[in-house]
Amino acid sequence: MFKGIYHGKHCHVSDIAIVLSRAWSAGVDRIIVTGGSLEESKEALAIAETDGRLFCTVGVHPTRCKEFEESGDPEKHFQALLSLAQEGIEKGKVVAIGECGLDYDRLHFCPAEIQKKYFEKQFELAYATKLPMFLHMRAAAYDFCEIVERNKDRFTAGVTHSFTDTAEDSDKLLSFKNMYIGVNGCSLKTSENLDVVRDIPIERMMIETDSPYCEIKNTHAGIKFVKSVWPSKKKEKYDQESIVKGRNEPCLVWQVLEVVAGCKGISDIEQLSRTIYHNTCRVFFPQDLDSAADALLSSGHGP
């Protein structure tokens, strides 16, 4: 979508640079570009190399796990992912393995047994690289937690992102040491969602956009807490000064922060921002950012 292509139709020029500029201006400090397949992970690394503030993941999304077997040689495919991750680590760009996990809402893309097999396999990537994991769990909490339990000593930390499940599922995830829960617009759709988010400890939470998806829509329960807005226009009337309607952008992470603050009844949004930023640094940027995050916390100046 940031190339101006929507469902195969070209609507406007590529505006990645403008989208990034808007993010930096909004106070976004770093962006992690998600890899969801071997090819997508290569592209994510190439994008990450264009800016010092961009980083990426390497991994295979549950709905794409058939690519291991369709490659004709699953082990060779795995080794290609490992080599790419190691290359990206050397470049200082790859900060996590993922997006991997289980998605039982979309079994038409990939059967559960194949998803489970290659979710488990990707813990080998995390173990070999000593990287944290960027995880996806949808309608699959039991199997997901069972696999994480078996492999909990094989990864340093992780975040289960785009969380949309129950309070019980949240508790299961938080029972794993160094597991965080990632919240975005998809996590804030209903009043029930807000109740679950309200009870997630801030010390175990991250926020994200998952752009270009998971925007906070006017129909979402969380919209009542949103204060930060940008002008928007339909993609057919593209204007670089406006956000494209229906397309999420990294700058809109502010809206997620505002909804989290609102549903938790937190008035000091800057302190909330610093705590969540610190969580993210601890997991994805431990070598060079823990001290920076601590400095932010002590100085009272956060993103």
Domain residue limits, the chain: 5-286
Q: What fold, for 5-286?
A: TIM Barrel (3.20.20)
d(CA 118, CA 113): 9
Q: Which two tokens stand for residue 254?
A: 């502010």
Nearest-5° angle of CA 129, CA 54, CA 298? 90
Single-letter residue type at 20: L
Residue 108 labeled ligand binder: no
Residue 10 labeled ligand binder: yes
Give the predicted TM-score (pTM) of the model.
0.91
- Give the residue from 185, 156, 183, 181 showing the smallest Cα distance to 171: 181
For 35-55, b/e burial (b = at least 16 CB within 10 A) is: bbbbebbbebbebbeeeeebb
| 3-class SS of residue 29 | coil
Give the lowest-confidence range in 20-29, 93-102, 110-119, 240-249: 240-249
Residue 73 labeled ligand binder: no
For 220-247, b/e burial (b = at least 16 CB within 10 A) is: bbbeebbeeeeeeeebeeeeeeebbeeb
Determine contact, residues 134/59, Cβ cutoff 8 Å.
Answer: yes
Residue 161 labeled ligand binder: yes
Is the pLDDT assigned to residue 302 strictly greater than 50?
no
The predicted structure's pLDDT at residue 301: 47
Mean pLDDT, residues 39-59: 96
User: Each residue of 67-106: pLDDT tens digit?
Assistant: 999 999 999 999 999 999 999 999 999 999 999 999 999 9
